[in-house]
Amino acid sequence: MTQLEALVSLNMVGEIGSIRLERLLDYFGKPENIFAAAPEKLMAISGISENIANRIHTFKEKVLERELALAQKLNLRIITLEDVDYPENLKGIPSPPIVLYVKGDLEEEDKLAVGIVGSRRASFYGLSSSERFSADLAGCGLTIVSGMARGIDTAAHLGALKAGGRTIAVIGSGFRNIYPQENMELADRIARSGAVISEFPLDAKPLKENFPRRNRVISGLSLGVLVVEAARNSGALITADFALEQGRDVFALPGKVDSDNSFGTNELIKQGAKLVSSKEDILEEILVPCRNRMERFEPGIINSIPGLNDEENSVYNLIEGRSTQLDELVEKAHLKVDALSGILLKLQMRKLVREFPGKQFARANNEK
């Protein structure tokens, strides 16, 4: 059994997220070693119940073989948490999926993504706003992430496609049970201009409990999430909660005070979400300039912050990922420590960069 096969098998066993996986790997070393262990040894790991241990121990290789054969037939790629091309934004969230089934292509430029979510029973105002914001942001080179549900999600994907941009759909079921069924053709269109992804095994049904897990992936892939319309108990509000937990920006479109569909967005604004009326309101918050969507993504020069000179912009763009050591910045920037420290101080005063213990620096919209 290979590493990929072992991780796919663990994902099919269920109830094994990245936290339990990390504990198992700390003890067994490699994913493939887990399936050779006796139930008693598995149960010695914190969080592994007798039920989970027995499911691992009795997992049949023919079940894995069928899954891999079906994935190949459906032209799906399987990416695991251990792969270098696992989405960087997603890898940094608490308990990321250990496996992603992907139809289409995930690109480096998808790091610059905005989630757009909202009500399934959307109004004309909501649908048109979702499509407009999506098209405007996609036209600026951002990838649009949504859940391919009816209503706001569908409009968001369509807006990105009409603008000729990239879009990613995160589904709450396996690829053999795409939901809603009327969006199967849309899924094919999205895969040609981005990707459709799922963390669920191929035969997983669109169960109610799957959608909060899907929502954390939508926000996890994004720099920020725009909630267009949401009723009092809308699932879009769950996505907003995940976004806040993950350190993402939350945006909300205001609506009529007597509209049920606007209750959630108006509440988010009252609680501190940024009210938006144009794409600029989003771009200035996530610190991404509007660029022509045809430009290739080039790490290190994509952000040009107004008010900073070339040297300051260069240092800002060297700060990538969750944190960067001062020594590493000195080496990359080819500056003396005093000069670099002055630039870092200015970036901190502009609230673009945060300093953490140990002379580590991260962009202000990222967690350490």
Residue 35 lies in domain: 3-73
Q: For residue 253, give both structure tokens.
A: 């479109």
Residue 279 counted as domain residue: yes
Q: Please report where in the chains the tokens 């200015």 appear, as a residue.
A: 346
Residue 88 counted as domain residue: no
Residue 256 vs residue 101, higher pLDDT: 101
Residue 331 counted as domain residue: yes
Q: Are residues 258 and 340 in the same domain?
A: no
Q: For residue 53, give both structure tokens.
A: 């241990």
Q: How far is CA 274 from the centre of its chain?
A: 20
Residue 222 confidence (pLDDT): 97
Give yes or no for residue 291 having a pLDDT over 80. no
Residue 224 confidence (pLDDT): 97
Give yes or no for residue 295 having a pLDDT over 70. no
* Other beta carbons within 10 Å of 19: 13
Per-residue pLDDT tens digits for 57-100: 999 999 999 999 999 999 999 999 889 999 999 998 988 999 99
The mean of the pLDDT values for the chain is: 89
Q: Are residues 146 and 263 in the same domain?
A: yes
Total structural domains within the chain: 3
Residue 361 vs residue 45, higher pLDDT: 45
pLDDT confidence band for 367 (50 / 70 / 90):
very low
Per-residue pLDDT tens digits for 304-331: 677 778 788 888 888 865 578 888 888 7
Q: Are residues 264 and 151 in the same domain?
A: yes
Q: Are residues 156 and 48 in the same domain?
A: no
Residue 302 counted as domain residue: no
Give yes or no for residue 269 having a pLDDT over 90. yes
Residue 78 counted as domain residue: no
Helix axes 124-139, 152-162, angle to 10 degrees: 40
pLDDT confidence band for 368 (50 / 70 / 90):
very low
| 210-224 average pLDDT score | 96
| Sign of the dihedral through C-alpha 233, 238, 239, 240 | positive
Q: Are residues 202 and 264 in the same domain?
A: yes
CA distance 201 to 236: 24
Q: Are residues 19 and 146 in the same domain?
A: no
CA distance 284 to 76: 36
Question: Helices marked H in 29-151 — which ranges?
Answer: 31-34, 39-43, 50-57, 61-73, 88-91, 124-139
Q: Are residues 57 and 202 in the same domain?
A: no
Residue 299 counted as domain residue: no
Residue 204 counted as domain residue: yes
For the stretch 144-176, what's the b/e string if a residue is b when 16 or more beta carbons lie within 10 angstroms of its beta carbon? bbbbbbebbbbbbbbbbbebebbbbbbbbbbbe
Q: For residue 55, give both structure tokens.
A: 């499911």
Residue 169 confidence (pLDDT): 98
Per-residue pLDDT tens digits for 344-354: 988 888 888 88
pLDDT confidence band for 152 (50 / 70 / 90):
very high
CA distance 46 to 4: 23
Residue 19 confidence (pLDDT): 86
Give yes or no for residue 178 having a pLDDT over 60. yes
Q: Are residues 142 and 210 in the same domain?
A: yes
